[in-house]
Amino acid sequence: MPSEGGRRHPRNASLGEAQLLETQRAFDSVAADYDGPRGNNELIQRMRLTLWETVHHEVPARGHLLDLGCGTGIDALEFAQQGFQVVATDWSPQMVERTQARAIAADMQAHVTARHLGIQQLDQLDARFDGIYSNFGPLNCAPDLRAVAAECARLLKPGGKLIFSVIGRICPWEVGHYARRGRFKRASVRVTRGATAVGMNRHTIWTYYYLPREFYRAFSDHFSLESYRALSLFMPPPYLVDYYRRRRDWCERMGRLDDRLGALPVLRDMGDHFLIVMRRR
């Protein structure tokens, strides 16, 4: 998610309709190009694979999945093709259209249901799932995580899993990259408490940043924490793909460090994103 920090929302106020609509317009504006060469690049694909493997490990084969913030439906189609039944939801109508088109093009519309639904509107959904996943930060845009947790608990079967990839607070690559260029405000954007305005395509995404433990706190009434790990801690974050392409061998070695060390204490609290798994009690 490209970003430039700016306006802040009052710390304890949750996002209102105006901010949610700003975020919706931002994602609508990039939906057409989202799967382009920079949008779904090698670094994104690497992180995607980790979530895919985790979902396969945590959710029974051929189970029912709910995708929160599905974007253009890359994950939803992958899981449908692997035998899962997927309800794919997103707050951006343009993204939902892309997901629908992707499912139709692959003749998988019987296995992927695309719905225009914000994470803040899960009370409108009535179904039972074996697993709920969310990839690349949609939950960073949710106005009230505790409400999301309660809805996820209602929608999941007992023992069902949440598998979320969330934008973290501590990303050493990002701090180094922007600080070296003298862009100190940008380098420190993830430190902000409460929602912060992040620029994308001349629009605004209202974003909350989390440490894994503070994210889990919102879910702790209904879910036990199974595991969490860093994604892209040693490997550069996806928006530095040009750097990766210039130093591919070295970066691949960094990627192997992510695989080996990313779940260790302290290291797992850092990274561009973290991948967290929780179990419904």
Alpha-carbon distances, residue 57 vs 46, 50, 156, 163, 189 (angstroms):
17, 11, 17, 11, 34
Encoded amino acid at 138, one letter: P
Question: In terms of Cα–Cα distance, which of 2, 36, 33, 22 is closest to 200?
Answer: 2
**Contact assessment for residue 209 and residue 190, using Cβ atoms and an 8 Å cutoff:** yes
Question: In terms of Cα–Cα distance, which of 169, 207, 205, 166 is closest to 188?
Answer: 169
95 binds ligand SAM per the rule CB under 6 A: yes
CA atoms within 13 A on the CB side of 10: 4
Least distance between ligand SAM and beta carbon 140 (Å): 8
Q: Per-residue contact track with ligand SAM, 103 to 142, x per CB under 6 A?
A: ---------------xxx--------------xxxx--xx
Toward ligand SAM, which CB reaches closer, 77 or 249?
Answer: 77
Q: How many residues bind ligand SAM (CB under 6 A)?
A: 21
HEC sequence for 168-187: ECCCHHHHHHHHHCCCHHHH
Q: Which residue is nearest to ligand SAM (CB)?
A: 71
74 binds ligand SAM per the rule CB under 6 A: yes
58, 75, 97, 269: residue in contact with ligand SAM (rule CB under 6 A): 75
Least distance between ligand SAM and beta carbon 72 (Å): 6
* SS3 call for 105: helix
27 binds ligand SAM per the rule CB under 6 A: yes
Least distance between ligand SAM and beta carbon 253 (Å): 26
69 binds ligand SAM per the rule CB under 6 A: yes
Binding residues for ligand SAM, rule: CB under 6 A, are 1, 23, 27, 69-71, 74-75, 90-92, 95, 118-120, 135-138, 141-142
